[in-house]
Structure 1
Amino acid sequence: MSTVLEQDPAPLRSPPLLGFWYAAATSSEVAPGTMKGVTLLSTPILLCRTKDGRVSAMLDLCPHRGMPLSFGRMEGDRVECYYHGWQFETDGRCAAIPSLVSDSPIDPKKICVTSYPCQDQDGYLWVYMGDSRYPDRPIPPLMRHPLPSSPYLMFQHSQMLSSTLDDGVVGLMDPAHGPYVHQSSLWRKPASQHDKAKTFEPIPNGFRMIGHAPSKNSPPYQLLKWVSGGELTTTIDFVLPNQRYELIQCGSLWVSIRVLMTPITEHETRMDFCAAWNVFRWLPFGSSIFKYFAKGFLAQDKVAMDRQSIGLKHKPPFRLVGDADQQAKWYHKLKAAHVASLQTGQPLDHPLKGPVTLRWRS
């Protein structure tokens, strides 16, 4: 049964959620024995990888005089500051201060740089951005990219958007922009829109568009159907704080896509796209075709988000209308429910109570 929704103002944007893992960089960006400075949630972060491959993260600021540690170098398995040569272990503890005399009473080990849990998984370096208001909250496990089988091929692509995290996430789950933003002589046009009905169900920290036949207007899906020779099903999940998963399957063949909206600063978000598949491994030029379509779609999304940012500078009110905008409402309510759960210690009051069918045209 489809929901009937009245117009109402969109909730106010809110800061990115703490207490979650965020993708700071691709794994290939930090080679063994090197380090890299990045910005994540407006925080300067130094990513390090020792020569034996261990990864770590710390605040990219020397506690001595505020010099970004990323201007320095890796000296063995230590980080050496460019300014005065202070050295730090990968857990943030100061190991040496060259200016101290041999009989100095100062113990460098009592000086520390803030460190962050860091993991190398599924092609990304992930950093856990904890919430100091809830120091006893356990660190949640890092979600894996669904990879049903191996071997497989993988493609990663990142691009910066002039967008807040909330606007980026809402754009990520918007089902109605496709015929207008993703136009081509090969696929979607506004005149080709038709009614759609999709059923959603709650999942922990998110919601799922349950298995259904993918769009007939998408050449990549139709190519997959042609290769597989069977009927495709696709399942789409959104999970707090910023992750969208899509798994397309036909028998033993599959394509798994994860898109992350990674908050860099208050008004800058990075879209991290990662696709893995086993279906085109033997098809000549299959990978090239997939990457071509993926980059084309992502470039169109970037243009749309960057253009929208021009209007958002004027802080216009939003009107979320009908079933096409219901996922955006769930996102805002889910985010607020998570914050309330932390504050009260009560289980999260999920805004989606059971299976719901939404209808829209696209």
Structure 2
Amino acid sequence: MSNPGRETDHMAACRPAAAAAAAEEPRDGLHEQWFVACTKSELRPDKPLGVKILGLGIVLFRQRNGDVTALIDQCVHRGTRLSAGKLADDCLVCPYHGWRYDAQGRVVHIPTIDGVQPGPTPADYPFRQRQLSVREQDGLIWVYPGTGDASARQAFRMPFHADQQWQSYFMVNSFDGDIGMLAQNFMDVPHTVFVHDGIFRSSRGSAMEATVALKAESVEVTYHDEHDKIGMMEWLTNPRREPLVHTDRFFAPNVTRCDYLWGSQSGFLIVSQITPIDARRSRVYTYIAYRFALPRWLLRALRPLLHLYTHVVIQQDVRIMRAHRQGLDNAPGFKPHNVRADVVHVGIERLLAAIRQGEALPEAERGEKLMRFEL
């Protein structure tokens, strides 16, 4: 026979665990941002998905009405990973003792209390796990890991995602490196002639100039070399022999966008969304969008070739960032030696430092500089 008094005592005894689960971790300004948790296709309708952002475990699941929920990936009962559980009646069921969580993170059923008897209403349980703000747009699912007002910031929009004249797809890869290391790599032209020699860009022994604009929340680089080429097939990218307009942008804290445009009819874009897993590793959602002056049937036929090409290039970056991370580990306390071609790197570091402090980049540090290097 059930004993209501003992049930209440049991609930009270569990409150410290719930409070501990809700305790806030030390945070900096990076937490108050939207980060990509997964692509739309990665979140199956019948199974929870566990991800990690800034060291915080998060579980995602989709309800029957299509809405997505994000909770801290930890049962408030014994701390078990909820993403190892299952879905039942729009609830997330812990795999250890069957505690059920609704879409707001409230515990709505505890088998060891309720048994086969009707239990209290969900509002009577004192337990809940923290729910995180979620946004689904442009084929991606975003999570806001901070505790501030998520609506005060916008998630980055994928350029041309809904434009029928452009084709696009995502690639997802894990990298060794934090946001700063990866953003610097994706914005770094000098490395391309060594890491991507012969496939993306080759050394030509001539100077390249660019204007680097450091702004309040971005670094924007405009290259002044209309004769520059990237290693894709020119008959595909630039059949009309138009001059290349190349711009790279870093949108603080975690997005890079590289545009290669040939006139008004051809273009190739690479947008990298960097989601920090922890201090050493990141997941990168690379968005490729392209428009070429060829019939659509031919572009569809060439799509597998483009996928293969971009995959090879990205894997070269994955390998060089692994070597970079290993080199930094070989002798802790390393300090970089910057040269004129590293203006972009320095700008990214300054923006990230300001964001971590929850501050705007000082006006005195903003402005434009000319960058010149041999390619």
Q: Which category of TM-score, normalised to the shorter sequence, fits these structures?
A: 0.7 to 0.9
**CA pair 38-137 structure 1, distance change in 2 beyond 3 A:** closer
Return the letter of the residue paired with 2:354: A
> What's the CA shift for 1:339?
3.8
Structure exhibiting the larger radius of gyration computed from Cα positions = 2
Gaps (5+ residues) in structure 2? 1-26
**CA pair 326-103 structure 1, distance change in 2 beyond 3 A:** closer
- Supply the distance in 1 between the matched residues of 2:119 and 2:125 (Cα, whole angstroms): 15
- Supply the distance in 2 between the matched residues of 1:215 and 1:96 (Cα, whole angstroms): 66
CA contact under 8 A between 2:175 and 2:282: conserved in structure 1?
A: yes
1:241-262 per-position Cα deviation (integer Å, ceiling 9, x unaligned)? 1110123333144333211222
Matching of residue 28 in structure 1 with residue 28 in structure 2: no
| Aligned position for 1:7 | none
CA contact under 8 A between 1:175 and 1:324: conserved in structure 2?
A: no
Q: Which has the higher helix share?
A: 2
| Aligned position for 1:240 | 252
> What's the CA shift for 1:67?
1.0
| Aligned position for 2:188 | 174
1:259-301 per-position Cα deviation (integer Å, ceiling 9, x unaligned)? 1222112211222211122326442533223222211111111
Matching of residue 199 in structure 1 with residue 215 in structure 2: no
| Aligned position for 1:208 | 220
Which stretch shows the higher mean deviation, 36-45 or 308-317?
A: 308-317
**CA pair 322-109 structure 1, distance change in 2 beyond 3 A:** same
| Aligned position for 1:110 | 126
> What's the CA shift for 1:337?
2.3
**CA pair 211-51 structure 1, distance change in 2 beyond 3 A:** farther
Gaps (5+ residues) in structure 1? 1-13
| Aligned position for 1:55 | 68
**CA pair 236-38 structure 1, distance change in 2 beyond 3 A:** same
**CA pair 84-196 structure 1, distance change in 2 beyond 3 A:** same
- Supply the distance in 1 between the matched residues of 2:158 and 2:276 (Cα, whole angstroms): 19
Matching of residue 331 in structure 1 with residue 348 in structure 2: yes
Return the letter of the residue paired with 2:71: M
Matching of residue 87 in structure 1 with residue 103 in structure 2: no
Return the letter of the residue paired with 1:276: A
1:135-187 per-position Cα deviation (integer Å, ceiling 9, x unaligned)? 46853011101117324322211222222333222222222211111123x56
1:305 to 321, 331, 335: 321
- Supply the distance in 1 between the matched residues of 2:28 and 2:191 (Cα, whole angstroms): 25
1:18 to 31, 34, 37: 31
- Supply the distance in 2 between the matched residues of 1:317 and 1:71 (Cα, whole angstroms): 39
Greater RCO, CA 8 A, separation 6+: 1
Which stretch shows the higher mean deviation, 153-162 or 315-324?
A: 315-324
CA contact under 8 A between 2:215 and 2:367: conserved in structure 1?
A: no
CA contact under 8 A between 1:337 and 1:350: conserved in structure 2?
A: no
Return the letter of the residue paired with 2:254: N
- Supply the distance in 2 between the matched residues of 1:223 and 1:167 (Cα, whole angstroms): 34
| Aligned position for 2:231 | 219
> What's the CA shift for 1:200?
2.5
TM-score (norm 1): 0.84
- Supply the distance in 1 between the matched residues of 2:50 and 2:220 (Cα, whole angstroms): 35
- Supply the distance in 2 between the matched residues of 1:274 and 1:52 (Cα, whole angstroms): 27
Matching of residue 71 in structure 1 with residue 84 in structure 2: yes
Matching of residue 261 in structure 1 with residue 278 in structure 2: no
The aligned runs of 1:311-350 (5 Å cut-off) are: 311-313=327-329, 314-315=331-332, 317-342=334-359, 347-350=360-363
1:157 to 140, 152, 171: 171
> What's the CA shift for 1:325?
1.0
Return the letter of the residue paired with 2:107: C
CA contact under 8 A between 1:25 and 1:125: conserved in structure 2?
A: yes
Matching of residue 270 in structure 1 with residue 299 in structure 2: no
Matching of residue 230 in structure 1 with residue 230 in structure 2: no
| Aligned position for 1:127 | 143
> What's the CA shift for 1:348?
3.9
> What's the CA shift for 1:311?
1.3
CA RMSD of aligned residues (A): 2.8
Which stretch shows the higher mean deviation, 85-94 or 104-113?
A: 104-113
Paired residues in the alignment total 340
**CA pair 300-167 structure 1, distance change in 2 beyond 3 A:** same
**CA pair 291-352 structure 1, distance change in 2 beyond 3 A:** farther
- Supply the distance in 2 between the matched residues of 1:53 and 1:19 (Cα, whole angstroms): 26
CA contact under 8 A between 1:67 and 1:83: conserved in structure 2?
A: yes
